[in-house]
Chains A and B, each alone.
Chain A
Amino acid sequence: AADKIRLIPQDFFAELCEQIIQHLNHKIPGINTAELCQRIQTSGVDINTGDLAKIANTLSFLFSTAARNNLSTEELVTTLGSGIGTLPKHAVQVIRHVWNEQGKAIAVSEDAGNMATVGQFVDMKWKLGVAMSSDTCRSLKYPYVTVTLTVADPSGQITDKSFEMTIPQFKNFFRQFKEMASVLETV
């Protein structure tokens, strides 16, 4: 991971650390690894989403452990030296700065939403479409619903999952959700 950190330009690295700290502070639902990775790639750096995710995980673990142990900035920097191996100077600088500004604010959270063992739902986007024609049927008029779920996985990385439903499937989907809601009410 240390090798790849070397490749990330300082401003992107700072942005990544910012997102991680904000996620640990429950200010944002997750870390937009895929989106950040795309921008880093556009700037000419050869790094893939998997590598960026590993780096994000490592940093997240570093920050949350430091928070739990109430490390000061100097203690954190010393731990860095022995833990992750040789980090580039600019990375250490960013970490020191970010921790100084916001590290102390990471409270051991009294939030019940913290125990992420599965993905956390973030958002849902939808589209209602009608397929007019295809290579198998010239005249289709087939309605369908497309849904994109945005989910923050247990490590905080945000991913999108898209899928299609027929109209009867959608109606069942809706019915199930109403039932879930009513159970949540009464429980």
Chain B
Amino acid sequence: MAALRDGDFAALQILLKAPSKDAVRQLCQECFSSPPAALGPLAQRACPGLAVSAQEAEQLVSALHSLTRHVVYRGLTRAEDILCLFPENFHQNLKNLLTKIILENISAWRNEAQASQISLPRLVDMDWRVDIKTSSDSIARMAVPTCLLQLKIQEDAALCGDNPVVSALTVELSKETLDTMLEGLGRIRDQLSAVANK
């Protein structure tokens, strides 16, 4: 995450034309959450509210995106650290307002960044059922308990954009295979405790 350039801070001062503090707050959130590719359309939407040219709106949106992402990247959490990002001659009140808005949102933004980083497909849901097989074409009578598990797995959000692909994996487990699974999971749990205690 590159640090901001002087041009960015000049563009940020366009926010002085915003109709209200809430409008600034709203724009900050949208600029953080927007991926770079969607900044253009976002600038177009912001234009009328700010009464600026299309080009100025683009510069502002890009600067705000960089500022918010930079703060999250560096993991800044204190007001002093955020305030000293701004140059000497930056408008005092606007600087304080932006710092305040950033501090309000930093925690949620960090979670958002973690949730959207690259990863393997993620487990989103799991359902299960225990059945008893009572008979089949090859065995007339039996009572075999069996477990049906359905895992819903969502492909990498970064690759799917707004339409995440969720696939369902249905698996049958017997008592033996379920025990194998439990053993593996128990080892993970032990490792987690060991790591947590360090």
Contacts and interface: CB of A to CB of B under 8 A. Distances in A.
Interface stretch (A11-19, A81-89, A90-98, A122-130): A122-130
A116 B139 CA distance: 14
Interface of B: prevailing SS: mixed
Interface stretch (A1-9, A51-59, A69-77, A104-112): A104-112
B19 interface: no
B130 A187 contact: yes
A110 B136 CA distance: 10
Residue of A119, A135, A180 with highest tally of chain B CB at under 10 A: A180
Interface string B154-183: 000000000000000111111101111110
Contacts of A138: 1, 73-75
A33 to B, nearest CB: 17
Contacts of A149: 151, 169, 171
Contact of B121 (A123, A125, A137, A163): A163
Residue of A139, A162, A174 with highest tally of chain B CB at under 10 A: A174
Nearest to B110: A137
Contacts of A144: 119
A124 B120 contact: no
B65 interface: no
Interface stretch (A20-28, A34-42, A164-172): A164-172
The number of chain A residues touching the other chain, given as a range, is 35 or more
Given A136-B73, A138-B75, A165-B122, A118 B182 contact: no
A47 interface: no
A163 B146 CA distance: 24
A68 B169 CA distance: 31
Contact of A121 (B177, B185, B187): B177
Given A164-B123, A184-B130, A118 B73 contact: no
Interface of A: 108-110, 112-116, 118-126, 128, 130-131, 134-140, 142-147, 149, 151, 161-165, 167, 169-171, 173-174, 176-178, 180-181, 183-184, 187
12 contacts: A108-B138, A124-B180, A135-B73, A137-B113, A139-B75, A147-B123, A149-B171, A151-B169, A161-B153, A164-B122, A165-B122, A180-B149
Interface of B: 1, 69, 72-75, 110, 113-114, 116-123, 126, 128, 130, 132-133, 136, 138-139, 142, 144-149, 151, 153, 169-175, 177-182, 184-189, 191-192, 195
User: Top 4 closest A-B pairs, CB basis?
Assistant: A136-B113, A112-B144, A118-B170, A121-B177
